[in-house]
Amino acid sequence: MGVFERYLTVWVGLGILAGVGLGLVMPDVFQTVAAMEIAQVNLVVAVFIWIMIYPMMIQIDWHAVKDVGKKPQGLMLTLVVNWLIKPFTMAALGVLFFQYVFAGWVDPQSASEYIAGMILLGVAPCTAMVFVWSQLVKGDANYTLVQVSVNDLIMVVAFAPIAAFLLGVTNVTVPWETLLLSTVLYVVLPLLAGMTTRQLLVKRSPTALGQFVASLKPWSVVGLIATVVLLFGFQAGTIVEKPGVIALIAVPLILQSYGIFFIGWWGAKWLKLPHDIAGPACLIGTSNFFELAVAVAISLFGLNSGAALATVVGVLVEVPVMLSLVAIVNAWKPRTV
């Protein structure tokens, strides 16, 4: 491992501090960058995510993708955790903490909005960052692609009904522009770029592919740190103004993340999944599609609502939590002699 990968947690911590600090010192700059978005998808963040996931897309071997169907257990685990467990445990934790544990510290209206935001996060499994986490645990790139693709297809039909059921409303409208644009930006375009690059490199020489991917690794980490700086910079004012509320919302979100991860890990061990499939399968169910959750929260409850704030807190806690889970997956990787 290079110095970037070895001290990744340190760089992310410094990125968080830098993001908050710069966001307070230069709020106008971050507001300008935040405004560069289409359908709730920030284009600058999209560029940095591209930098993160492009190396993994190059490693996808289309000759191996067709063989994923021969090993369906990992895919089934991902779908069961994402759609039959995760939304409902998130709703249960939201109710437990904001209607009971934290009831004395928040008013009922705010509590119901925080719960709603958490539910929207729970019903929106991640798309883009999954490729980053899979790469960090040396997951099977081909299998991860199929997991993400099938997950996105199910999200098209399952997101609105499950969200409506858990929120107790009937007017949940899926922001199709956000969903489709995110899929194109974070999956389709980098995948096409990766396929084209792979073909060119394979034709050049047998070693060209490995050398090029190795040279991109530091840039992938740089993209992650830059994304962290931006996300925390965007919310620097909120972090300083409402630290107590953010801490309260973060508690059930963090418990949900670790709980879902360990449910997935137990399922992977029960199914005897190989490590390079088990790791990404567990991480896919743990992370969230925050652009979609934020967009729906704003459309249903308003920009300054507790629901929108809860989805933003989900963004803030995700990267540190996911890095800790990546460390766990790597620590539990079977050692070969």
Domain ranges across the chain = 3-331
Q: Give the model's pLDDT for residue 3.
A: 55
Nearest to 189 by CA among 140, 131, 133: 131
Whether 189 and 149 have beta carbons less than 8 Å apart is answered as no
Q: Give first-to-last CA distance, the chain, whole Å.
A: 19
User: pTM (2 decimals)?
Assistant: 0.82
| DSSP-assigned letters across all residues of 278-306 | HHHHHHHHHSB-HHHHHHHHHHHH-TTSH
Given a cut of 90, whether residue 255 has pLDDT beyond it is yes
In this structure, what is the dihedral angle of CA atoms 215, 220, 221, 225, given to the nearest 10 degrees?
140
Q: Give the model's pLDDT for residue 2.
A: 55
Whether 175 and 39 have beta carbons less than 8 Å apart is answered as yes
Q: Give the model's pLDDT for residue 92.
A: 94
Whether 233 and 25 have beta carbons less than 8 Å apart is answered as no
Between 251 and 238, the higher pLDDT residue: 251
Q: What is the C-alpha to C-alpha distance for residues 214 and 48, in angstroms, rounded to an integer?
A: 18
Dump pLDDT digits (tens) for 186-222. Answer: 777 887 888 899 889 888 887 888 888 778 877 877 8
Backbone φ and ψ for 125, nearest 5 degrees, come out as: -65, 155
Q: What is the C-alpha to C-alpha distance for residues 54 and 222, in angstroms, rounded to an integer?
A: 13
Q: What is the C-alpha to C-alpha distance for residues 225 and 15, in angstroms, rounded to an integer?
A: 6
Given a cut of 80, whether residue 226 has pLDDT beyond it is yes
Query: Which CATH number, 3.20.20.100, 1.20.5.510, 1.20.1530.20, 3.40.50.11440, labels domain 3-331?
Result: 1.20.1530.20
Q: Give the model's pLDDT for residue 166.
A: 87
Given a cut of 50, whether residue 337 has pLDDT beyond it is no
Distances in whole angstroms, Cα of residue 268 to Cα of each of 72, 173, 203, 326 = 12, 34, 37, 15
Q: Give the model's pLDDT for residue 248.
A: 94
Whether 134 and 280 have beta carbons less than 8 Å apart is answered as yes
